[in-house]
Each structure stands twice: as C-alpha cells, then as structure tokens.
Structure 1
Amino acid sequence: MTKVLVATEKPFAKAAVDQIEAIVKNAGFEFAKLEKYTDTADLLEAVKDASALIVRSDQVTAEVVDAAKDLKIVVRAGAGYDNLDLEACSAKNIVAMNTPGQNSNAVAELAFGMMISMARNAYNGTAGTELRGKKIGIHAYGNVGLYVAKIAQGIGMEVYAFDPFVDAEKIKADGVTPVGSVEELYSTCQYISLHIPATPQTKESINFDLLSKMPANAVLVNTARKEVIHEADMIKLMNERADFSYISDIAPDNKDEYAAFEGRYFFTPKKMGAQTAEANINAGVAAANQIVGFIKEGNATFQVNK
C-alpha cells in the first residue's frame, strides 16, 4: 500500500493534520506522521517504507533520500525548497515538489506588519511616518510579490517591480510599474520588499553597492532568505547610513552586531512568514492533494527537480 508520511519537526496545526490525513485515507493510502522529532535518526527510520513524504522546513538530505527505499515523491509544504536535496532526489528518480502560492498572503501581510511597525517607531510614543505616497519596489514578482503589490496599492503606495522572468505587460496589467534592472528598482524606491530565492546566483547578491543606491530613509524588508544578504556589507551600510533600516523575517547569523543600530532593525525570532492558521492548513492540504494527484494521475505540475 502507498504510505504517506508527514515528517515535521515543527508540526502542522492539528486542523491541517486532520485534513491531510483525511485526503490521504480517502485516496486509499496509508497515513503516518512523525512530529517534534529531535534526532535525524528518527526521520531516517520513519522514511524507510514511505512512498511519499510531506515536510515543512525539515532537511531532506541525501542521507534521508538513501534511507527512503520506496520513496517516489517528496513535497515541501511551502514555496521555498532549499531544504530539499534536489540532486539526490533526481538521482533516485524521486519527484520533488513545493506548494507555491499557499503561504503568499501570510508572507505579504507579515511584510507590511513589519513595515508599519518600523514606520511608527515600534509604537514607542514618538511621531513616525506614513506609507501612503511612498515608493515600494518588489524584487521578484511571484505569488508573494503580487500580494505585496495589492496591499501596497490599497495603502496608496507607488508600486514598482523587477523580475526578469515575468513579462512586463503582466506586471503592468496589475497596475504595477516594471523597471528594467535591479539597480533601477533600488535607486527608485524608499522601500524594497525582497522575495528572491536563495540560489548560487542570488546568495549574497544584496550587497553594499546595490543597497547604497536606495534613497533617503530607505527600508529593506526581507521575507525571502537570509543567505541572499551580504551580511558584512549590510553592517557596513548600517554604519555609514544612519537613515537606513533593515527588517527581516529571519535573523542573520551576525545579529548581535546590530545592537548598535537600535530602532533601525527588526528580526523575527524564527521564520514566521507562513505562521498563520490559514497558511498552515493551505500548504499542508495542497501537499496532500499534490501527492494524490501524482500517484494516481502522474500530475507533476509543481515538480522542482525537472
């Protein structure tokens, strides 16, 4: 029988697990779960007879893939999939998928929650600024970028976007102004909302030269990955520009160095973009449905290791 394993160090909400289990069992598959595990050995044991695997931020390494002798598909419940060893999956003919779009609104709302808090000086009683009328640049116009654009438009911001993989006419159709280069985006906008994935090409690409192009009172909002930021360059910029602020959905490795920049930075204690009840359920349910669709019909729409 096809066995679907949900392996989550940080578990889904119970409502999500219940829906995943119902989808799996209604398809005639066996359901199993491994939650709050603290040792990789537990995961290696659990995957031995799994046909399909659902994870969140759990690391699906070559070791895990090797241990999963019957594995046909692994789905990362979320958009980012840098926790999956795609090369190892491909070598074993295992289909790897993500669930794009399921967390997008949650991430976009978090970005604006952090922006508003920064603009209002963390509500410390002093006068802040407003977002209305300010220019915001969306770096990577995917599912999250689209939601960021919609919220920004509702607030009354001027919205720009750069994404070489999205047709400029599509961006224009959403009421957003496309720009021709990443340099133009950063030099135009006081606020930048960052959504690029962490790849060999993008890691540490958000550097001093790029960030220094931003106008006065610039704010970088990172709900992507910490690896895309050049950490030493960011510290250099924060030292040289007292008007620059940095907000991130995950603390950088050198977070202690930011103590000197009180009031100009904010880091969530853990990655929280998808930490809503709705997103938790949406991503888990999507992962379960994608597994059923793949095993029963060969649907590999969201495969990321093609």
Structure 2
Amino acid sequence: MAKILIATEKPFAKVAVDGIKEVAETAGLEVVLLEKYTEKAQLLAAVADVEAMIIRSDKIDNEVFDAAKNLKIVVRAGAGYDNVDLEAATAHGVVVMNTPGQNSNAVAELVFGMLVFAVRNFYNGKAGTELKGKKLGILAYGNVGRRVAHIAKGFDMDVYAYDAYCPAAAIESDGVKAVSSQDELFEQCEVVSLHIPATAETRQSINYALVGKMPKGGVLVNTARKEVINEPELLKLMQERTDLKYVTDIMPETDADFRMLGGRYFSTPKKMGAQTAEANINAGVAAAHQIAAFFKDGCTKYQVNK
C-alpha cells in the first residue's frame, strides 16, 4: 500500500484532512500526518518511507528529495509551486503537481476585500472613493484573474487585462478589454491587480518605471508573489507620489519602511489568499484525487516539472 505524507507546517483544517483520507483510503492508499513541524529534521525523517506528499507552502528542496528514497509524486495544494525545487525533483524522478483553480475564488475575494479597504482610506473616518466606473487592470488572466474580472463586473468596474500567454480573443470573450502590453495596462488603469507567477521573467518586474505609469490615485494590489515586486523602487516611487496606494497579502522585506508612508500601505501579517475553509478543503482534496489518479493510471495532467 502506497503511503501519502501530508506535510504541513501550517496545517489543513480537520475537515480537509478527513476529506484527503477518505479519497486516499478509497483508492487503497495510506495517509500519515506531519503537522506544525518546527525543524527540517522532522520533515526529513517523515519522508523516508513515503511514496507521495501533499504540501502547502512547505519548502521541498534537494535535501528533502535525497531523504525521500521512495518518493514518486509531490502535490502542492495550491496554484503557486515556487517552494518546490523542480530541477531537484526531476533529477530524482519525482513528479510535481499543483492544484490550479482550487484557491481562485478565495484569492479573488481577498483582492476586493483589500481594495475596498484601500479606496475607503483604510476606514480612517475620512471620505474615500468608490470602485464603480474605475478601470481595473488584471496582470495575468489565469484562474484567479478570471475570477477577479467576474467579481469586478459586480462593482460596475471597467475591466482590462494583459497576459502574454492568453490570446486577446479569449480575454475579450469574457467581456474584458485586452490590452497589448503591461505598460498599457498600467497607463490605462486606476487599479492594477497582480496575478503573475514568480519566474525569471517576472521577478522584480513591478518596478518604479512600470508602476509610475499609473494614473493619479492609483492602487496596486498584490496577491501573487513577493518576488515580483522591486521593493526599493516601489518604495521610492510611493515616497515621491503621495497619491499611490499599495495593498498586499505578502509582507515585504521592507515592511517597516512602507509603514512610514502615512496610511497608503497595508499588508496582512502572513499570506492570506488561500486562507478560507473552502479553499483549504478544495485544494487538499484535489491533491488527494490527483495522487490517486497518478497511482491508478499514471495521470500527470497537472505536472509542473519536466
């Protein structure tokens, strides 16, 4: 019987673990738990005899793969997977998957929770502005971006999007205006929401020059990855342009400096995009189904490494 390790420094909700176990047991798989671990040594010991892993934001590197002699598959319960060393996984013959779409609504709702908070001046008692009629730019039109667009229409916003890998026709079929570049997106929109992954191409790409193109009163929302922000340049720009606001669920390294901006910045204390009961359950159970399919018939539909 193949063994699945649920290795979560930040645990799933109990109902999610129960759902994972139900899927696994139906497929003839065993589940073991490592929750709230505090040292890497605990993780290294736990992976020694397992064939599969379900993780959240846990860091899985070459050392972990070396320790996991029987490991065949790792599923990241969520969309992002930059916490897994894909090259090391491939070198060890391990398939890595994510669970795209399972957290999309949770992240999209968070975007608007923070956005309303920002345009109402963080509820400081002073008059703010409304979202109705404002131009919202979505940078990357994947599962989350599409959900953000759908919600934005409920606010009567004008929705724009740019995605280098999504055809303009596909964007416009959703009633969203496709623009030809990210520069154009920032120039056109009072609000820009980031949904790009952290890649060699995107790291540090949200910088002084790009954000500086935003109209007066612009709001930047980041629920993507910390690495896509050029923090020193964004901080410099916001010090110069006192009309700009920045809200994020990924605390910057320079959080203390951003807090000096006088009420134009907000960060959650930890990443919150997928922190809902529904997303927690959806992603965990989806991961279990993907592992079951992998062991049953070799399905690698959501594989992210080569």
Query: Does TM-score exceed 0.5, indicating one fold?
Result: yes
CA contact (8 A) 2:104 2:147 kept: yes
CA apart distance, 1:124: 2.0
1:37-93 alpha-carbon deviations (Å, 9 max, x no partner): 001000000000110000000001100011000000000000000000100110011
Matches for 1:142-157 after TM superposition, within 5 Å: 142-157=142-157
Is residue 49 of structure 2 the alignment partner of residue 49 of structure 1? Answer: yes
Q: How far apart are the structure 2 equivalents of 1:118 and 1:213?
A: 19
Specify the code of the residue in structure 1 equivalent to 2:17: V
The residue number in structure 2 matching 1:217 is: 217
What's the offset of the Cα at 1:232? 0.7
Corresponding position of 1:188: 188
Q: Which amino acid aligns with 1:83?
A: N
- Structure 2 partner of 1:19: 19
Aligned counterpart, 1:104: 104
Please state whether the residue corresponding to 2:289 is helix, strand or coil. helix
CA distance in 2, matches of 1:19, 1:305: 26
1:29 to partner: Cα distance? 1.0
Matches within 5 A, 1:1-306: 1-306=1-306
SS of residue matched to 1:17: helix
- Structure 2 Cα separation of the partners of residues 216 and 31 of structure 1: 53
User: How many Å separate the matches in 1 of 2:82 and 2:68?
Assistant: 19
If the length of structure 1 is used for normalisation, what is the TM-score?
0.99
CA distance in 2, matches of 1:158, 1:59: 39
SS in structure 1 at match of 2:204: coil
Instruction: Please give the secondary structure, in 1, of the residue aligned with 2:7.
Output: strand
1:169-203 per-residue CA deviation (whole Å, 9 max, x = no partner) reads 11011000000011000000000000001111111
Cα drift, residue 304 of structure 1: 0.1
Equivalent-residue separation in structure 1 for 2:76 and 2:227 (angstroms)? 19
Task: Give, in angstroms, the shift of residue 242 of structure 1.
Answer: 0.4
Deviation at 1:233, TM superposition (A): 0.3
**How far apart in 1 are the matches of 2:260 and 2:18?**
46
Q: Percent identity?
A: 61
- Alpha-carbon distance, 1:259 to partner: 2.6
Once residues 37 and 7 of structure 1 are traced to their aligned partners in structure 2, the CA distance between those partners, rounded to angstroms, is: 8
SS of 1:33's equivalent in the other structure is strand
Instruction: Please report how far the alpha carbon of residue 260 of structure 1 lies from its aligned counterpart in structure 2 after TM superposition.
Output: 2.0
- 1:138-170 Cα offsets, whole Å, 9 max, x none, are 000000000000010111000000001011111
Question: In the aligned structure 1, how far is the partner of 2:246 from the partner of 2:108?
Answer: 16
* Structure 1 residues without counterparts, runs of 5 or longer: none
Count of residue pairs brought into register by the alignment: 306
Runs of 4+ in 1 over 4 A off after TM superposition: none
Q: Distance in 2 between matches of 1:16 and 1:30?
A: 16
Q: Give the unaligned 5+ runs of structure 2.
A: none
Q: How far apart in 1 are the matches of 2:95 and 2:62?
A: 14
Report the secondary structure of 1:71's partner residue. coil
Supply the AA of the counterpart residue of 1:76: R
Q: In structure 2, the residue corresponding to 1:203 is in which secondary structure? A: coil
Residues 259, 265 of structure 2: 8 Å contact kept: no
In 2, Cα distance between equivalents of 1:149 and 1:258: 28
